[in-house]
Structure 1
Amino acid sequence: MIETRDPAGQDRGSIAPWLQGRRGCRGRAALAIGIALLAAPATAADPPSWTQPTAPFHLIGPVDYVGTEGLAAYLIHTSAGAILIDGTMAENAAAIERSVAARGVQMRDVKVLLLSHAHFDHAGGLAALKRASGAQLVAGAADRAALESGVPPGETSYGVIRFPAVKVDRAIRDGERVRLGGVTLTAVATPGHTPGCTSWSLRLRARGKPVDILFACSVTVAGNKLVGNRRYPAIVTDFRASLARLSGMSADIVLPFHPELADLRARAARDTLVDRAALPMMVRDARAAFDADLAKQRQ
């Protein structure tokens, strides 16, 4: 299959409605749409926000935002170095390095790289970031082959968008933990968007109270073939299992990888990130979109 950046895009199905409605979306609705809503694919190339640098900022506790305007990367400070979640696009690696430095961390002090899933807009920068830091890369076991080949998993409506291959140092499975300097993140397997799509849960204390954070991997279809996907035959079963899994979870804060950044920054500044309704809303919207897409593909 020819490599292409088709207008449908890797995650464009999830981002299109958010881009169209971001000026009018605020608070809970903006967060839920940014994470989960799936509509028709966008009609343009990669959104400019995906490569638009933005000033990094503090979120909560040891967690900072160091991604671009439209693609998230999260930096977690620990007593033994830092953890960086997601690398966004290959073009963004240098900008992420600058943002990490702006938050007081040298790249050599980034000890662990975590990944949400093996698509170019999230994994593309990992190879360069790993070279710059020497960090250990931890990713979902079922995405390992894709990461080490640079070829995304599954079959899609838009072809193949490659990214720089990168060696996985630890292939992680559901429930396994990553620990560094007193911080523990737990892998939550949420396959479907990719076979190894992994959300990460983190419990920390803020103002003397425990706060549960979920760095939520995508649960959108976003161009994936749900019918006749020979490279990922379990895709429908996995999507349904992940939606069921997430519907049974709770989170105080949900942090997306396609953020409604203006809202996220403002909510962090106002200390209003906590929203226990965000995860149920994410699951509800994603399930409705999945069912609609599956019915359409079965026609």
Structure 2
Amino acid sequence: MGIRRARPSFGALAIIAGAPLLLGAADPPAWTRPQAPFPIAGPITYVGSEGIAAYLIKTPAGAILIDGTLAENAGMIGRNIVAAGVRLRDVKLILVTHAHFDHAAGVAALKRATGARVVAGVGDVRALETGIPPGETNYGVIRFPAVPVDRGVRDRDTVTLGTVTMTARATPGHTPGCTTWTMRIPAQPRALDVVFPCSVSVAGNRLIGNRAYPGIVGDYRRSIAMLGTLHADIVLPSHPELADVIARGRRRAAGDATAFVDPTLLPRIVAKAKAGFDADLAKQAR
């Protein structure tokens, strides 16, 4: 997660001009760089920016959007949704992975534009509804536009739209309500398990003496362990570079129908996250 100065955005999906200015290093340019939408597998289409993911899942009863990314990306995501063949009013659900500005700041504008119901982990509902991220970090507080949450979910709760059922897996740590979403794509010769993992990176979180989130270390450990038990044929993270999502999209466009299928990817991501967590915890404990 980068620390940024909030920049107002304008247009049909522009949101609150009165957002506070937040000082710090600039976000990576790729976070706001436009990316044309592209199909991934089954009903899933990528509709995010080059550097932060948003995923659209089409169903006979409308569409599901996972994450809204940055506030200034809301208009671009809306245009990508339309370019993918879905009317904004047909987006019925917005699932949030976690309450940080780089993934949730665009949700308020997208909810207004679509009328969709917002679903998030119960531990992040207050943060989303106040626009104040949870916990304590080494980079301070980066607020984002508050958004009403229509449903808070717990571990193994399901959300169904049309023929698609999404299962919530609680993976707290990065935030208290960090939620990994899973689904299954009917396919031949076998169905494909898809995992949209919530981040388990430390990313500036205070692990020692976090008064706002005293159970953070135990939550990280349990979440990393649980992710290690999941089977994933396709992994679609919030930060696309973790799974080479953009490059795999180019391979798929070139004719590789299985470009996103990689059952070894999630174990590799989990192992790297565990090593990173252990290193950060040891460093902060010194």
- Normalising by structure 2, we get a TM-score of 0.89
Between 1 and 2, higher relative CO (CA 8 Å, sep ≥ 6) is seen in 1
SS of equivalent residue, structure 1 residue 137: strand
Pairing partner for 2:203 from 198, 214, 222: 222
* Partner residue of 1:262 out of 205, 230, 246: 246
Q: Which moved more, 1:255-264 or 1:44-53?
A: 255-264
Q: Distance in 2 between matches of 1:254 and 1:54?
A: 19
**How far off its partner does 1:196 sit?**
0.4
Of Structure 1 and Structure 2, the greater helix share is in 1
CA–CA separation in structure 2 for the residues paired with 1:169 and 1:257: 22
Alignment of 1:63 with 2:36, yes or no, is no
- The question of 1:249 aligning with 2:249 is answered no
- Partner Cα distance (1:133, 1:277) in 2: 36
Equivalent position amino acid for 1:82 in 2: A
Q: Hey, what's the Cα distance between the residues in 1 that align with 2:193 and 2:115?
A: 29
1:13 aligns with none
Query: Is 1:235 equivalent to 2:216 in the alignment?
Result: yes
Question: Which residue of structure 2 lines up, in the alignment, with residue 49 of structure 1?
Answer: 30
Q: Deviations over 1:272-299 (max 9, x none)?
A: 2111111110110000000000000000
Which of residues 103, 123, 147 in structure 1 aligns to 2:104?
Answer: 123
Query: Match of 2:40, SS?
Result: strand
- 1:200 and 1:267, CA in 2 relative to 1: closer, same or farther beyond 3 A? farther
* Alignment partner of 2:81 out of 90, 94, 100: 100
Letter in 2 for 1:266: R
Aligned equivalent of 2:269, options 282, 286, 297: 282
TM-superposed CA distance for 1:263, in Å, is: 1.6
CA deviation map 1:254-282 (0-9, x unaligned): 11111124323124332221111111101
Distance in 1 of aligned mates of 2:115 and 2:86: 14
Q: Counterparts of 1:67-216 in structure 2 under 5 Å?
A: 67-216=48-197
Please state whether the residue corresponding to 2:45 is helix, strand or coil: strand
- CA deviation digits over 1:119-145, x for unaligned, max 9? 000000000000001110000000000
8 Å contact 1:150–1:165 — kept in the other structure? Answer: yes
Give the Cα separation in 1 of the matches to 2:249 and 2:29: 19
State the shift of 1:204 in Å: 1.0
Larger deviation: 264-273 or 125-134? 264-273
CA distance, structure 1, for counterparts of residue 25 and residue 136 of structure 2: 21
Partner SS for 1:145: helix
SS in 2 for 1:279: helix
Q: Which moved more, 1:59-68 or 1:199-208?
A: 199-208
Counterpart amino acid of 1:265? G
Structure 1 residue runs of 4 or more that deviate by more than 4 Å after TM superposition: none
Tell me the CA shift for residue 208 of structure 1.
4.5
8 Å CA contact 1:193–1:221 kept in 2: the answer is: yes
Cα deviation 1:219-251 (Å, max 9, x = unaligned): 100000000001111100000000110111111
The number of equivalent residue pairs is 261
Q: Is the 8 A contact 1:60 1:268 kept in 2?
A: no
Deviation by residue 1:163-183 (Cα, 9 ceiling, x = unmatched) = 000000000000000000110
Offset from partner CA, 1:24-50 (integer Å, 9 cap, x none): xxxxxxxxxxxxxxxxxxx95200110
Identity of paired residues, percent? 61
Unaligned 5+ segments in structure 2 are: 5-23
Cα RMSD after superposing both structures: 1.5
C-alpha contact (below 8 Å) 2:3/2:27 kept by paired residues? no
SS at 1:209 equivalent: coil
